[in-house]
């Protein structure tokens, strides 16, 4: 439901890979999305399955045909593929391989829709995904949606923007703010692109007290990484955190659709006793 905060609380017991098997986490999640001031429709989309540890934020590309459809098509297809993989008792392949394949399948589905329905030809989407499986975190992204890990109130990016600016910045060719403003909107890869580049999957361990944020570019274009850490330092509840992030984006002048999923990990009551 667009514009509403959804909070899902579900205890999920996950063995920490480097600790005794008695160590477990409680995982909670909440999300909020808001339509941009210059948009008629909210082209952002999010999906959550806390029981499976699966979280997705998708952003239909502004100005492209069927942006709202593109984001929902991408998020729905990827969720379906990954949920099928995660509930299998005997898995074929790794979580990372399943993630890459799900992105590729979502891209193909978007291209097929464009082939059969010309009015949707050229639609595209950015997307960021996080999977929590057996105490391990897997993240991947395409376009300019992001996943952050907040640990000790410091926000670190786990995904890399696939933008012209990021490419120039990584090559040491630009630090210019004006060039940043122009080039950060230019994507070199996105879903719905015939030249789609498979995303890199990053994997790391979850720790008690960690918080994940999955956000669309309506947040990242105006909210600095340091502010996310400061918001975390005064917030414990995921619903409140997602609300604070979206409100900060609005206060700082965001014109694009803005979406935030907050996921946090805490010790179970038995561990705290």
Cβ count near 188 (within 10 Å): 14
Determine contact, residues 165/174, Cβ cutoff 8 Å: yes
Cβ neighbours of residue 30 closer than 8 Å, sequence gap 6 or more: 5, 6, 7, 8, 237, 238, 239, 241, 242, 261, 262
For the record, the structure tokens of 158 come out as 């786990």
Q: What is the mean pLDDT of residues 103-120?
A: 85
Q: What is the pLDDT of residues 158-168, one digit of tens each?
A: 998 766 555 55
DSSP E strand stretches across the chain: 6-10, 25-34, 44-49, 54-60, 125-133, 136-142, 146-151, 154-157, 202-205, 211-215, 258-267
Determine contact, residues 231/260, Cβ cutoff 8 Å: no
CA distance 5 to 243: 8
For the record, the structure tokens of 73 come out as 């098509």
Determine contact, residues 265/26, Cβ cutoff 8 Å: yes
Is 206's pLDDT higher than 80? yes
Alpha carbon separation from 20 to 15, 16, 87 (Å, rounded): 8, 7, 24
Is 9's pLDDT higher than 90? no
Share of the chain above pLDDT 90, in %: 51
Please give the angle made by the CA atoms of 46, 49 and 53, to the nearest 5 degrees. Answer: 110
DSSP 187: B
CA distance 155 to 152: 8
Q: What is the mean pLDDT of residues 237-259?
A: 95
Residue the block writes with tokens 């498979």? 198
The pLDDT of residue 192 is 78
172: confidence class by pLDDT, cuts 50, 70, 90? low
Please give the angle made by the CA atoms of 156, 102 and 10, to the nearest 5 degrees. Answer: 60
* pTM of the predicted model as reported, rounded to 2 decimal places: 0.83
The pLDDT of residue 90 is 85
CA distance 259 to 193: 23
Average pLDDT in the chain = 82
Q: What is the mean pLDDT of residues 32-55?
A: 91
Instruction: Sketch the domain layout of the chain as residue ranges.
Output: 12-272
Determine contact, residues 129/55, Cβ cutoff 8 Å: yes
CA distance 185 to 207: 34
186: confidence class by pLDDT, cuts 50, 70, 90? low
Residue 27, burial from CB neighbour count under 10 angstroms (0-12, 13-18, 19+): buried
Q: Could you tell me which CATH number the domain at 12-272 has?
A: 3.60.40.10
């Amino acid at each position: 439901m667009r514009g509403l905060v959804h909070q899902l609380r579900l205890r999920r017991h996950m063995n920490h890979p480097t600790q005794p098997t008695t160590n477990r986490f409680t995982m909670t999640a909440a999300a909020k999305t808001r339509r941009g001031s210059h948009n008629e429709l909210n082209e952002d989309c999010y999906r959550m399955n806390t029981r499976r540890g699966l979280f997705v934020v998708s952003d239909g590309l502004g100005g492209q045909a069927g942006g709202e459809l593109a984001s929902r098509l991408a998020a729905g297809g990827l969720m379906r593929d990954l949920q099928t993989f995660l509930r299998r008792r005997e898995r074929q392949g790794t979580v990372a391989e399943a993630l890459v394949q799900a992105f590729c399948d979502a891209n193909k589905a978007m291209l097929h829709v464009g082939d059969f329905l010309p009015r949707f030809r050229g639609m595209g989407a950015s997307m960021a995904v996080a999977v929590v499986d057996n105490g391990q975190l897997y993240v991947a992204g395409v376009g300019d949606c992001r996943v952050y890990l907040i640990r000790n109130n410091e926000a670190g990016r786990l995904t890399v923007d696939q933008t012209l600016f990021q490419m120039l910045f990584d090559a040491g060719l630009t630090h210019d703010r004006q060039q940043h403003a122009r080039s950060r909107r230019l994507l070199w890869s996105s879903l719905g692109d015939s030249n789609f580049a498979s995303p890199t999957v990053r994997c790391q361990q979850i720790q008690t007290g960690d918080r994940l944020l999955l956000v669309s570019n309506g947040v990242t274009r105006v909210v600095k990484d340091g502010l996310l850490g400061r918001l975390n330092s005064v917030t414990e509840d995921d619903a409140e955190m997602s609300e604070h992030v979206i409100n900060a984006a609005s206060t700082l002048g965001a014109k694009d659709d803005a979406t935030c999923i907050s996921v946090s990990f805490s010790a179970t009551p038995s561990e705290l006793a």
